[in-house]
Chain A
Amino acid sequence: MNLDLSTSRGLMVGLLPELVLTVWGIVLLAVVAWRHKTPRDLTLAGWITLLGFAASAVAVWWLWWNRAGATGPTPMVAVDDFRYVADWLFLGAGAFTVLFSFAYLERESLLAPEYYVLLVFATIGMMLMAGGEDLIVIFLGLELMSVSVYVLAGVDRRSARAAEAALKYFLLGAFASAFLLYGIALAYGATGTTNLTQIGTQVVSLGLAKSPLLLIGLGLLLVGFGFKTAAVPFHMWAPDVYDGAPTPVTGFMATAVKAAAFVALARVLAEAFGATATWHNIVTGLAVITMIVGNLVALAQRSLKRMLAYSSVAHAGYLLVAVSAGSPEGNAAVLFYLAAYGLTSLAAFALVAARGRGGESDLQIDDLAGLSTDKPWLAFALAVCMLSLLGFPGTAGFIGKWYILLAAVTAGKGWLATVLVLTSLISAGYYLPVVMAMYMRPVPFANAHAGLKFGRLGLLALAVCIAAVLYFGIQPHRLLDLTQTSGAAIHPAALTTPVAGN
């Protein structure tokens, strides 16, 4: 199916998933305007959100199934596999977040149905970031997402920590957006366009690869994206915000928000700056310090939530390795790793969320002592998460890491792959103590884990996550094929050739 994106009909079809979700978001807004008093209303809003995500995912599937592609002049939105797979990632992460939120919101008595509305709008923003073929579209998507997530981080109005997290996130986020916008402006100044493909063509045809204006613009763009992906040295906000936000929101930020930033970054670098080799070294440098700092600081954490927050910085480093490869394999590895990390991370944060008592961020790693005797299945689930985050064979995390290493080695960066494996060895130092506490230490006192409660839906979602982590660890080819074709879908304009099939 070929869409002519210069006509409004073609554009509508191309944007179908976003439109479906937008309409649904407005419907949801109308519903919660009338029904926002009881926990039942909250559950209703949650279900409507889930349906919305499902409908949008079906729309994405429909486009993918019909192999929608674009004809005619360079469009504002991309219609390619890279976008579809990324959309599924966001929608899936959103849906899991909803499932984990049901019990959480009720227990913390966060009677705020806006929660779900914000979740929907944040997801729309992400989808625009993944589909933006123009820096302005990407920026709009990013802002829509960010503003929604700033509010989500502070949705628990009674918590001072959440307020601090939200404010910090907002201030630094606004700062990052300014960098990004200024970078866009400079890139526009150098090339005369904000369209990614056209920037790519201009750079080649006008010989701008060494133009200072463009390079400064690129640098500012990287700073902006560095903030959003929480790469060192732009990561300062991440641990505090992750720690202070309600845990399901933290899970959403660590997976979907991060995924959106990475997907947009990969697209911008591949399509607009494919001919500008400078960024390879910058991204490689960012990757190295992010891996080292993220892992070392995580090593020092005693609180499980903070440990996961810092480890998510380390994972951003691994993802940057894949980005720095600057190849189709690298971009495919980004998608695969985001999927693997997303599933694992959502499950891990869900387990932290389930442990509530009002302040689950105080959950120390040692508090898990003896969990395996009291709740063997939950301990097993968390152990699988830890091993997957560690990149242990048999889990999706391993295949993801393998893919990143493969991309790095293929790009001739064997040393970067070595840095990756050595820093992930450090991560054994903080993931294993969790396993150790659960399995090798005795229960400190009777009913120590009685507070660990899951709703039925949350438990189901957790089981699905864990099953998927294990399944993709052993039989990854479906997901691999999907990400492989998607990774090849974004490329510099000069190389644009019709790709047969998908």
Chain B
Amino acid sequence: MYDHLVLTVLLAWPLVAAAALWLVAQERAKYVALLAALVEFAVSLPLWWRFIPTGGMQFEASVPWIAGWGISYHVGLDGISLFMVLLTTLLVPLSVLGSFTYITKRERAFYANLLVLTTGMIGVFVALDLFLFYVMWEVMLIPMYFIIGIWGGERRLYAAIKFFIYTMFGSLLMLVAILGLYYIVASRTGTYSFDYAFLLSHAGGLGSLAWWFFGAFFLAFAIKVPMFPFHTWLPDAHVEAPTAGSVILAGILLKMGTYGFLRFALPFFPAVALHPTVQAVIVTLSLVGIIYGGLVAMVQPDLKKLVAYSSVSHLGFVMLGIWALTLQSVQGALLVMINHGLSTGALFFLVGMLYERRHSRMLEAFGGLARVVPLLATALTIVSLSSIGLPGTNGFVGEFLILIGAFRTYPWAAGIATTGVIVAAMYLLWALQRVIYNKLDKAENEHLPDLSWREVAVLVPILAGIFWIGLYPKPILQRMEPAAQHFIDTVRPGAQAALR
């Protein structure tokens, strides 16, 4: 019963809750939204125990939807999507809680958008039908567009439309590729179906078309990740979005890109993805992203922008880990996807908290905060260190795994990527120094209030996660290992068969 319905409930509940929000008063909306998000989290939690690592796709449900075109509502969960779903259900209640004082106008609409967004995000991670996947991929654009555009900062309109058009550009090309794949498979087998497993098993031998299809998928996902030359929407969107929006953007939306590579682009077109030229291009772009993101972060005067650029760098690691295609590196990539959600999510929360106190995000506005707001300063230090990858925190485990794994495949690339870790230490420690250490030389900073209980409640779960993964990652690694292995086993033979 639970196994069969859980994903559907996870998809439907936020929509129901969003609709229900219109029945309550404007000022109560946040409490109702928090309750709804917590219920969602509670529903998703048993997945952790009921999930069988070696069980492949689980919790599946399938109902015909548009039968004429072979479209069905088909959802399922494996060792890759499990963590993304749990990360989503964890970050959403925290985002709601973190927005209590930040969002002061049109609250109902804000929380309704956040809940609809939840459905879209979970839908992307559990969809096993390409039509459903595409619909979810696009649907989550609208609430995010509204969140940035209505509740964002000064340049919100520009950031919102840029975000929308960039994402839509990639996904529209992906749409054509999905249709092309569907048609070719159908003309070969006589079965019209958008089912993931069906298309996957017949996606071989496409010849030169595979290049076009891969290119379309690549663009859609690379924009979302974002990989180096496609990243320009990210700083705008992250900086202009309200805190909760940035947290969700960095924590989950970016992972949709890497998830897309893991789920679709590589398994469908292994021969193209592992073609030496493509490999070289993608590994180079990842490295450029790692280094460039870090260097640009270093010179940002705006703390939020700094965090935004650090995402480009972290996601570069993920891409490198995926393409290195060893068990460690893929597991590391999956782990960094989780870690980045936690650490960068927490960083955005903290930047938001600083902004609410000081109404500025400029590094130069702060200094010596450690004495004024010790709790906030401690949290910021821990989270920064985890983002740098200090041993004992989650960041270390993930990046370490990627680097070891990548050494086997691309020794020189792993070597260059290691400098990325050093760059990360430079920009974050430098920022940390300017914000919470140095002299307390600004009168405005002398009477800032420390973290409230509500803010502590937002940060504690994330901090717990940071240390848990840092000290005892085994339960997580155990659950993702078979899925990572399966991913490698799917991709590698396909590529070798094509090279032969």
Contacts and interface: CB of A to CB of B under 8 A. Distances in A.
Given A405-B175, A418-B176, A421-B176, A440 B149 contact: yes
Contacts of A209: none
Interface string A469-502: 0000000110011001000000000000000000
A414 B157 CA distance: 34
Interface in B156-193: 156-157, 160-161, 164-165, 168-169, 172-173, 175-176, 179-180, 183
Contacts of B179: 402, 405-406, 409, 417
A132 to B, nearest CB: 29
A414 B180 contact: yes
Interface stretch (B92-100, B132-140, B361-369, B461-469): B132-140
Interface string B100-137: 00000010000000000000000000000000001100
A23 interface: no
A456 to B, nearest CB: 23
B68 interface: yes
A406 B69 contact: yes
Contacts of A439: 146, 149-150
Interface string A435-460: 01001110000000000000000000
B173 A393 contact: no
A429 interface: yes
A100 to B, nearest CB: 27
B66 interface: yes
B142 interface: yes
B172 A409 contact: no
B161 A392 contact: no
A421 B180 contact: no
B1 interface: no
A85 to B, nearest CB: 15
A342 B233 CA distance: 35
Residue among A394, A421, A480 having the largest count of chain B Cβ atoms under 10 Å: A421
A278 interface: no
B160 A406 contact: no
Contacts of A409: 176, 179-180, 183
A406 B183 contact: yes
B165 A428 contact: yes
Contact of A421 (B149, B156, B165, B175): B175
A392 B165 CA distance: 13
Contact of A418 (B134, B168, B173): B173
A477 B68 contact: yes
A417 B135 contact: no
Interface residues of A, number: 30
A406 B67 CA distance: 15
Given A392-B142, A436-B161, A425 B66 contact: no
A393 B119 CA distance: 14
B407 to A, nearest CB: 40
A160 interface: no
B139 A394 contact: yes
A407 B146 CA distance: 33
B66 A480 contact: yes
B157 A440 contact: yes
B165 A481 contact: no
Interface string B63-86: 000111100000000000000000
Contacts of B135: 393-394
A277 interface: no
Nearest to A418: B176
Contacts of A216: none
A428 B176 contact: no
A1 interface: no
Contacts of A424: 172
Contacts of B106: 373
B183 A440 contact: no
Nearest to B156: A440
Interface string A256-277: 0000000000000000000000
Nearest to B150: A440
B15 to A, nearest CB: 11
A33 interface: no
Nearest to B136: A393
A481 B180 CA distance: 22
B136 to A, nearest CB: 8
Contacts of B212: 414
Nearest to B106: A373
Nearest to A432: B161
A358 to B, nearest CB: 31
Contact of A393 (B68, B134, B145, B164): B134
B129 to A, nearest CB: 13
8 contacts: A387-B142, A392-B138, A414-B176, A428-B165, A440-B149, A440-B150, A440-B157, A476-B66
Shortest 7 CB-CB contacts between residues of A and residues of B: A421-B172, A393-B135, A440-B149, A409-B179, A393-B138, A417-B176, A409-B183
Given A421-B176, A480-B66, 8 more contacts: A392-B142, A406-B69, A406-B179, A417-B180, A440-B146, A440-B149, A477-B67, A477-B68
